[in-house]
Amino acid sequence: MEIPYKIYLEESELPTQWYNVRADMKNKPAPLLNPANGEPAGLDMLSAVFCRELAEQELDNDTAYIDIPEEIQSFYKMYRPSPLVRAYCLEKALGTPAKIYYKFEGNNTSGSHKLNSAIAQAFYAKKQGLKGVTTETGAGQWGTALSMACAYFGLDCKVYMVKVSYEQKPFRREVMRTYGANVTPSPSETTEVGRKILAEFPGTTGSLGCAISEAVEVALHTEGYRYVLGSVLNQVLLHQSVIGLESMAACDKYDIKPDIIIGCAGGGSNLGGLISPFMGRKLRGEADYRFIAVEPASCPSLTRGKFAYDFCDTGKVCPLAKMYTLGSGFIPSPNHAGGLRYHGMSSIISQLYDDGLMEARSCEQTSVFDAAQQFARIEGILPAPESSHAIRVAIDEAMRCKETGEEKTILFGLTGTGYFDMVAYQKYNDGEMTDYIPTDEDIAKSLAALPDVR
Ligand SMILES: *Cc1c(COP(=O)(O)O)cnc(C)c1O
């Protein structure tokens, strides 16, 4: 069958349920723990922080398919299905016998896959009768997606934006404000944890872990508010499974059988979402695939971190998660421009990786931007630096096929566009981008502060 450049599904073929890969995992991801007593965090504790139904999804290790509420399906239809693209032009330019496909999630105003979970989280907050939600944002994609989702459901949205991004990415900030969000640079004077961090480190430009602490504090102390998070959590991977389900339906429709499935990994949500249904088939023994997580060499949680319980935030107010981590105090080198800077990794991805069901690889940022530039010039899309980690490894694998003559089928997740990352591209274009790989001592230092559990 002739395979079109772009494979779209009909509306009637869109997923009506999310897929929860935990249901098929023999070794379930470890539970979140209450930092006060080391006991598993139950529904009561989690629903003080998160919306009730989202807390239930967080804890649900058994239900394989969960209905996507009608309201969310309608919103999805405004920008989904996302195209599955056959990279004919890239294949030709590389001269590879490999077949390359990518699932492009950048075709919405927020510019990334994060909207898939933002709209779900806003829906459950609205359904619960809440007034609003709080969150943090680093590069700004999550804050933008959540602002759009909250505007749609008429919810208030308070975003704590890492100060350095707030100052360097004024346009991201303005998109959020256009959608009605209230954006505060973090650390700020508006929270106790923010004031404490400012007193201890005056002039700090902030971090993701610190912004999380501020957002959680505000949610816990404001009537009618809950905290929402754009990655890492089980519930987020569940919502993002829409990426994998659409990809799988499109592949099945055209009898495409991927051999290698690749995704960039920050907190693990797009990767988890893309691979979940395929991993389900692998776990059930129905098919086999190679899965590759790609992370920056400057923030290598899977390839150089430790699988242990750790804090999710700097202020240590969140439950503890068992994950591959570099330690909650780990901050990537200031020259790192490519995103994916969270110190930990989704518990689901961590467990699958620890069980040997998937691989991980790290890439230096100059080689990631080489791939980004090559891709932009050949396939036309200006990719986000995060997404370009997956492009790097997809190209590497395609070049390996060229050497061996193997006709492998490669599928990768192209998570978003890079329009707001032009400062990073500028550095690259000016030849000023450098690589920094943390030393073993750097990593040992932040790992020394892991909490003492189990
Ligand atoms: C946030 C983001 C990522 C990384 O987050 P994951 O949770 O690991 O998917 C990757 N690409 C883009 C474009 C993003 O906005």
* 102: in domain: yes
- Residue 305 confidence (pLDDT) above 90: yes
For residue 140, report the distance from its CA to the centre of ligand 1, in Å. Answer: 11
Q: Which residues approach ligand 1 with their CB closer than 6 A?
A: 112, 114, 141, 231, 264-271, 340, 384, 386-387, 415-416
Query: Per the domain annotation, does 429 fall within a domain?
Result: yes
In a domain, 448, yes or no: no
pLDDT of 58 over the 90 cut: yes
Cα(191)–Cα(196) distance, rounded to whole angstroms? 9
Percent of the chain with pLDDT over 90: 89
For residue 207, is it within any domain?
no
Q: Is residue 282 assigned to a domain?
A: yes
Joined together, the tokens standing for residue 258 give 């991927």
Residue 37 CA to residue 400 CA, distance in Å, equals 50
Number of domains in the chain: 1
Residue 366 to residue 248: CA distance in whole angstroms: 32
Residue 442, pLDDT > 70, answer yes
User: Does the pLDDT of residue 453 top 90, yes or no?
Assistant: no
Ligand 1 centroid to Cα of residue 266, in Å, is 6
194 found inside a domain: no
Q: What is the pLDDT of residues 321-359, one digit of tens each?
A: 999 999 998 888 888 888 898 999 999 999 999 999 999
Q: For the chain, how long is the longest CA-to-CA vector? A: 65
Q: Is the pLDDT confidence value at 155 over 70?
A: yes
Please report, for the domain that includes residue 332, its CATH number.
Answer: 3.40.50.1100
Nearest CA to ligand 1 atom 2: 386
**CA separation, residue 78 to residues 125, 338, 375, 413 (Å):** 21, 29, 27, 20
230 Cα: distance to centroid of ligand 1 (angstroms): 9
Q: Is the pLDDT assigned to residue 1 strictly greater than 80? A: no
Residue 261 neighbours by CB under 8 Å, 6+ apart = 274, 275, 278, 289, 290, 291, 292, 410, 411, 412
| Cα–Cα distance measured from residue 106 to residue 383, given in angstroms and rounded to the nearest whole number | 9
Q: Find the 270 Cα to ligand 1 centroid distance in Å.
A: 6
pLDDT of residue 454: 62
Q: Tell me how far the alpha carbon of residue 114 lies from the centroid of ligand 1, in angstroms.
A: 7
Q: Which domain holds residue 84?
A: 6-13+69-111+235-442
Exposed e or buried b for every residue in 215-239, given b needs 16+ CB within 10 A?
A: bbbbbeeeeebbbbbbbbbbbbbbb
pLDDT digits (tens, 9 = 90+) for 211-254: 999 999 999 999 999 999 999 999 999 999 999 999 999 999 99
- Ligand 1, pocket-test mutation among 103, 105, 107, 113, most atoms within 8 A of CB: 113
Residue with tokens 């602002």: 147
Q: Is 254 helix (H, G, I), strand (E, B) or coil?
A: coil
Q: Are 151 and 125 in contact (CB under 8 A)?
A: no
Give the pLDDT of residue 315.
81
Q: What is the CA radius of gyration of the chain?
A: 20
What pTM was estimated for this model as a whole? 0.97
Residue 247 domain-assigned (yes or no): yes
In this structure, the residue with its CA closest to atom 5 of ligand 1 is 266
- The answer to whether residue 61 is domain-embedded is no
Mean pLDDT score of the chain, rounded to an integer? 96
217 near 315, Cβ under 8 Å?
yes
